[in-house]
């Protein structure tokens, strides 16, 4: 082991056997384990008879605990960071601790392990050569709409996480913005009630509207084809006037000049024609 460093240790996403031999060794050898939920991590440590002191590190205490962990490393302690499941630092406050270590010149060593996102992607049956990981969507408001608006034009496979109580809302929102694209939905990966449903968004909405929804979900969505994206973009303006088309883009933050140029390009007409109409705005 290298002295005074931070180890990023991947842990099982369900089945406790899904941890590497190296991961077990590192957890046994470090001085302290920083855990998202010490109670959850205790189950893993007890399973492998690992007896090490733990310190909590999560979203709500990451600033104070991050400084404390940095202090321990500078004192010569080796620290292992684990999340409740999977690789730390992915949709996880561990990224802040790693950034802090990098700023302080502390060595950060990854100990690879399971990842719910890649596990679900590998069995989705959807394209895997190009994909984008979005984690959890914003739960409401303008930020959620803006994120969904960007996904509307995404042609890569999309990976999302979702909690059971928000699943139906998210499926319906995705259908509204993405259309009826194909989707693979995995829940409780590597656990007793593991399940993967491969369908389209309409089928997913119908399926889960008749179920008691439980478990943590990974959604794998098929990206839209260039033709579908172009057709979708045209739907935004073909039934509105040129003036409203300009206003639509100005409301999204574009200047009038930028909006005029974009409207002219999309409609295949001259900038002068669009500019003359923009004078009224």
pLDDT digits (tens, 9 = 90+) for 166-219: 999 999 999 998 989 999 999 999 999 999 999 999 999 999 998 999 999 999
CATH topology of domain 117-225: 3.30.950
Query: 141 falls in which pLDDT band (50, 70, 90)?
Result: confident
Q: What value does the mean pLDDT take over residues 50-76?
A: 95
pLDDT at 3 (0 to 100): 61
- Helical ranges in the chain per DSSP H: 21-29, 38-47, 62-74, 94-104, 116-122, 141-151, 167-178, 201-208, 226-235, 242-251, 256-267, 271-278
Q: What value does the mean pLDDT take over residues 66-74?
A: 96
Query: 22 falls in which pLDDT band (50, 70, 90)?
Result: very high
237 has pLDDT over 80: no
pLDDT at 68 (0 to 100): 96
| Contact by Cβ (8 Å): 154, 223 | yes
Cα–Cα nearest to 115, from 134, 148, 88: 88
Q: What value does the mean pLDDT take over residues 9-38?
A: 97
pLDDT at 134 (0 to 100): 95
Burial class of residue 249 (count of CB atoms within 10 Å of its CB; 0-12, 13-18, 19+): buried
Q: Where are the domains of the chain?
A: 6-114, 117-225, 236-278
Candidate CATH numbers 3.30.460.80, 3.40.640.10, 3.40.1010.10, 3.40.30.10; the one for domain 6-114: 3.40.1010.10
pLDDT at 236 (0 to 100): 66
Query: 234 falls in which pLDDT band (50, 70, 90)?
Result: low
- Cα-atom radius of gyration of the chain, to the nearest Å? 24
User: What is the average pLDDT value for the chain, to the nearest integer?
Assistant: 92
Pairing of strands 182-187, 79-82: unpaired
> Out of 51-55, 66-70, 89-93, 248-252, which region has the weakest mean confidence (pLDDT)?
248-252
pLDDT at 34 (0 to 100): 98
CB atoms within 10 A of CB 112: 12
Q: In whole angstroms, how far apart are CA 241 and each of 236, 245, 248? A: 11, 6, 10
1 has pLDDT over 60: no
Query: 8 falls in which pLDDT band (50, 70, 90)?
Result: very high
pLDDT at 265 (0 to 100): 87
Query: 233 falls in which pLDDT band (50, 70, 90)?
Result: low
């Amino acid at each position: 082991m290298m002295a005074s460093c931070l180890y990023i240790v991947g842990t099982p996403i369900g089945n406790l056997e899904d941890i590497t031999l190296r991961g077990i060794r590192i957890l046994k050898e470090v001085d302290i384990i920083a855990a998202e939920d010490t109670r959850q991590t205790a189950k893993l440590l007890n399973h492998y008879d690992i007896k090490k002191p733990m310190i909590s590190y999560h979203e709500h205490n990451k600033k104070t605990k991050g400084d404390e962990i940095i202090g321990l490393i500078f004192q010569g302690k080796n620290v292992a960071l684990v999340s409740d499941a999977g690789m730390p630092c992915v949709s996880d406050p561990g990224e802040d601790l790693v950034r802090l270590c990098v700023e302080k010149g502390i060595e950060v060593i990854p100990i690879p392990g399971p990842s719910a996102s890649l596990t679900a992607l590998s069995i989705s049956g959807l394209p895997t050569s190009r994909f984008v990981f979005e984690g959890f969507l914003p739960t409401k408001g303008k930020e959620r709409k803006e994120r969904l608006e960007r996904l509307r034009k995404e042609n890569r496979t999309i990976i999302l996480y979702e909690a059971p109580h928000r699943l139906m809302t998210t499926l319906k929102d995705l259908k509204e913005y993405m259309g009826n694209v194909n989707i693979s939905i995995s829940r409780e990966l590597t656990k007793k009630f593991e399940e993967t449903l491969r369908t389209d968004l309409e089928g997913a909405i119908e399926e889960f509207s008749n179920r008691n929804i439980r478990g943590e979900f990974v959604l794998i969505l098929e990206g839209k084809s260039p033709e579908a994206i172009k057709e979708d973009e045209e739907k935004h303006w073909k039934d509105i006037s040129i003036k409203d088309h300009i206003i639509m883009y100005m409301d999204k933050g574009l200047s009038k000049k930028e909006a005029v140029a974009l409207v002219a390009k999309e409609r295949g007409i001259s900038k002068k024609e669009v500019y003359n109409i923009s004078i009224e705005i």
